[in-house]
Amino acid sequence: MTKRVVLIGHPVAHSLSGAMQQAAFDELKIDARYELWDRAPIALGDSIVELRGDEFLGANVTIPHKERVVPMVDRLTEEAQATGAVNTITREGKRLIGHNTDVAGFKIALDRIVGRQKMPRQAVVLGAGGGARAVVYGLIREGFQRVIIFNRHLHRAEGLVKHFGRSAAHMELRAMPWHDSIIEAELAKTKILINATSIGLTSDVTPVPAEALHGDLLVLDLIYSNTRLLRDAAAAGATTADGELMLLHQGAAAFTLWTGQPAPLDLMQAKLAEARAGGLRSAEGEPTGEPAAAAAE
């Protein structure tokens, strides 16, 4: 029986994950099909129930469901519990296990952009959704001492801070209102800026005015594209990276969870690049644009 793995999101058209996961199944001769399920929030519960069937290896979960799906699975791994977000589901019999492989993907992306420098201790995070939760958890685990979160809807950032209350008790984790002047003041004393909003995903807009960026910054945009933020940051002399490494490694970790086998990383990376060059779209079904020119190696 051909096994099934599904990406559940809204929208999910032209997913990059599909290209890399199907190629990985085929390469390892695993009889499985990666399907895209576009499901509005109201249909999420029924989709999760369906996953309990024998033909399913599991699922990926993306925008906007990563937090909503948490109470719908039977068990959470440590990362999923700690972040309050699930991006990967596996099945054990009829039981569904919620994982968060964005955490592992983010760690690799963070290590890469920091390179040989000393790991900074202060960061500014834009966004408070599922992706931001993996980022904030990663920064806490990395020993950051001050992390400031800006989000369009302040209450969501405050909810995120509250969620991490105990694990962040030793450090300063704060939500601040989204004002250009406050963001600029925070960036002036910060080494790392992470964009975990979807601003820049669908159109060429930036969450931060170019004047607020400076040459000492390391700027990581989770969007898999050379966004305006990354271009402005590179022009200011900053080191930049897009979401490619995170996307690749969260996908590789998910592949191993479903199949028990090491992921063919080089092939998956090549498939991502191919899909991008061919004008394919991001995991959320939007244009990805050109690779980040100044992406950190």
- Residues marked as catalytic: 66
Residue 64: CB minimum distance to ligand NDP, A: 4
Rg (alpha carbons) of the chain, rounded to whole number:
18
Which one, 158 or 216, has the nearer CB to ligand NDP? 158
Residue 239: CB minimum distance to ligand NDP, A: 17
Q: Is 218 helix (H, G, I), strand (E, B) or coil?
A: strand
Residue with tokens 């990967």: 88
The yes or no reply on residue 222 touching ligand NDP (CB under 6 A) is: yes
The yes or no reply on residue 153 touching ligand NDP (CB under 6 A) is: yes
Which one, 70 or 201, has the nearer CB to ligand NDP? 201
Give the count of beta carbons closer than 10 Å to the beta carbon of residue 162: 11
Cα 48 to chain centroid distance, Å, stands at 21
Cα 60 to chain centroid distance, Å, stands at 12
> In DSSP terms, which residues pair with 6 in a beta bridge?
35, 59
Backbone phi, psi, residue 83, to 5° = -85, -25
Which one, 12 or 283, has the nearer CB to ligand NDP? 283
CA distance 226 to 80: 29
Of 50-58, 112-120, 125-133, 269-277: span binding ligand NDP (CB under 6 A):
125-133
Cα 43 to chain centroid distance, Å, stands at 23
The yes or no reply on residue 241 touching ligand NDP (CB under 6 A) is: no
Of 28-36, 115-123, 136-144, 282-290: span binding ligand NDP (CB under 6 A):
282-290
CA distance 226 to 292: 4
Return the residue of 84, 98, 120, 131 that touches ligand NDP, per CB under 6 A: 131
Of 16-24, 40-48, 197-205, 226-234: span binding ligand NDP (CB under 6 A):
197-205
The yes or no reply on residue 250 touching ligand NDP (CB under 6 A) is: yes
Q: Is 196 helix (H, G, I), strand (E, B) or coil?
A: coil
Of 15-23, 51-59, 137-145, 218-226: span binding ligand NDP (CB under 6 A):
218-226
CA distance 89 to 73: 8
Binding mask 10-49 for ligand NDP (x = CB under 6 A): ----------------------------------------
Residues near 133 by beta carbon (within 8 Å), at least 6 away in sequence: 66, 67, 83, 84, 85, 160, 163
Return the residue of 151, 190, 259, 288 that touches ligand NDP, per CB under 6 A: 151
Return the residue of 12, 125, 223, 257 that touches ligand NDP, per CB under 6 A: 223
> In DSSP terms, which residues pair with 88 in a beta bridge?
60, 99
The yes or no reply on residue 197 touching ligand NDP (CB under 6 A) is: yes
Asked if 33 and 5 count as a contact pair (C-beta separation under 8 A), the reply is: yes
Return the residue of 246, 252, 275, 295 that touches ligand NDP, per CB under 6 A: 246
Backbone phi, psi, residue 54, to 5° = -60, -25
Can you give the binding site for ligand NDP, defined by CB under 6 A? 63-64, 66, 102, 105, 127-132, 151-153, 156, 196-199, 201, 222-224, 243, 246-247, 250, 282-284
